[in-house]
Structure 1
């Protein structure tokens, strides 16, 4: 199904969580000073205009990125996130553009690294190629997430990150995500896997089954970071989201313990906002 376009949701509370986590992981991987592999399985367009008709129609960024632009704690703990925001907006105080995961990765990686981006939607693929044109170490593929990632694994550089961020438009997307992780891990056990998922209304939420199925793969150092901004709807609305990080870098938990409460407090829409941070599997 190819109807989903992230332009409607760019910069919302879910983007804040997933992209800050992405920055933290990439920073820790890059600190070792060794090349790494990066694969983005559901890349989207790579960057989005917050002034577009789509973005203005929903204005989700107003309750997302706009609320934390001057947050001193988050500026200190996740500096790369804010540096990239500043770069894509040419230093202007008012945000006009929001970087997706491909643009964040492109700016945090360099010529020594190998970055692969998968996108099946034809228009988003064209936009992604355009947005990453100047990053010669970034390779864009018009292909399905599972087929593409399995074809690219194991990577030539045997350390790195697989970033998995589906739209979850269909119920089967949850099972498909588990399948991707399980098969990919079988080919690249050294890799870090970061999986985003939504927390939806009671009639449509499948996050519990997803987290349980991912935990059963039993990858070492698996962490769950989850937060909500408001009360759960009875039907479909997204009231929060989460990240599962498998083979998590050793000090990632410490960073999440600092930023997750702050994100939750800053983006809360009512007094039911909560966060949850858990170690699902360890090194044993």
Structure 2
């Protein structure tokens, strides 16, 4: 199945959380001069027009990035993420939302590398076009999970691996665990950041249990819910599971999560979660 298009959901509350965590990890990796690899297994199209048919149809960005756009009390730790979004909206009007590969491109240094994979036949050419002049980037069309075997470990032995599948089919919940396990065997010191949607809580509990069963240590869960868990159709929350998180990330998110929740969910419903699935 290849029906999922992120253009319908770009800039929503899940993107805000995902790209906040992504940006903080990248900034932490940049504290050392040595280069690193950014590997994106499901990179998408790269850039999304918020006035386009898909984004306009759902309007999800209005309850996501749009709620932060005019805030005048932005925490300093959010600056890298929001600066990346602003770079694609130079006039100050929120017209485009950059996906994870473009946020990475904005934040990475000349010595760092990008490995981007996308399978969708419509999104892949758009992604390739975005990076056609960037010598740091290699863009491939294929199965992102296979890159966890083929491209790891990086020569630099440093890296962030972002795993952000569409979860179109239920087997994706098992595939991400197997993919992480495969990658970790090759590159145990990398930072792995897995995004997940909460549609049915039981699926997430099962996925977390399977991650625990891998024997991997240092697994941190970060979650933001915009409404209570439900059996009804639709995403009630989303989260990031980070393996080998930078040492500052837990404290940064402890400070950011309440602020993000208050801005993104002014009704005060839902919840935030920050806990170790598996500690040291």
CA shift, 1:110, in A, is: 2.5
Given that 1:74 and 1:259 are in contact with CA atoms closer than 8 Å, whether structure 2 keeps it comes out as: no
Does the residue aligned with 1:93 lie in a helix, a strand or coil?
coil
Given that 1:229 and 1:270 are in contact with CA atoms closer than 8 Å, whether structure 2 keeps it comes out as: no
- The equivalent residue for 1:106 is 105
- The equivalent residue for 1:177 is 176
Gaps of 5+ in 2: none
TM-score, normalised by the number of residues in structure 2 = 0.96
Mapped pair 1:281 → 2:271: no
- The equivalent residue for 1:248 is 245
Residues 220-271 of structure 1, C-alpha deviations (whole Å, 9 max, x = no match): 3211001111133322210110110001111110101011111111111644
- The equivalent residue for 1:162 is 161
CA distance in 2, matches of 1:168, 1:180: 14
Residues 82-120 of structure 1, C-alpha deviations (whole Å, 9 max, x = no match): 111111112x22210001000011111122112100111
Residues 2-41 of structure 1, C-alpha deviations (whole Å, 9 max, x = no match): 1110000000000000000000000000111210011100
CA shift, 1:155, in A, is: 1.4
How do 1:63-74 and structure 2 match up within 5 A?
A: 63-74=63-74
CA distance in 1, matches of 2:87, 2:245: 28
- The equivalent residue for 2:126 is 127
TM-score, normalised by the number of residues in structure 1 = 0.94
CA shift, 1:73, in A, is: 4.8
Gaps of 5+ in 1: none
- The equivalent residue for 1:197 is 196
Does the residue aligned with 1:244 lie in a helix, a strand or coil?
strand
Counterparts in 2 of 1:201 and 1:185: CA distance versus 1, 3 Å? closer
Q: Which of 235, 238, 245 is equivalent to 2:235?
A: 238
CA distance in 2, matches of 1:73, 1:165: 29
- The equivalent residue for 1:18 is 18
- The equivalent residue for 1:34 is 34
Runs of 4+ in structure 1 deviating by more than 4 angstroms, as ranges, are none
CA shift, 1:71, in A, is: 3.4
- The equivalent residue for 2:221 is 224
CA distance in 2, matches of 1:73, 1:182: 40
Residues 160-197 of structure 1, C-alpha deviations (whole Å, 9 max, x = no match): 11100011111101001111000110011110000000
CA distance in 2, matches of 1:252, 1:73: 21
> What CA RMSD, in Å, does the superposition of the two structures yield over aligned residues?
1.4
CA distance in 1, matches of 2:12, 2:108: 24
Q: Which of 209, 212, 215 is equivalent to 2:209?
A: 212
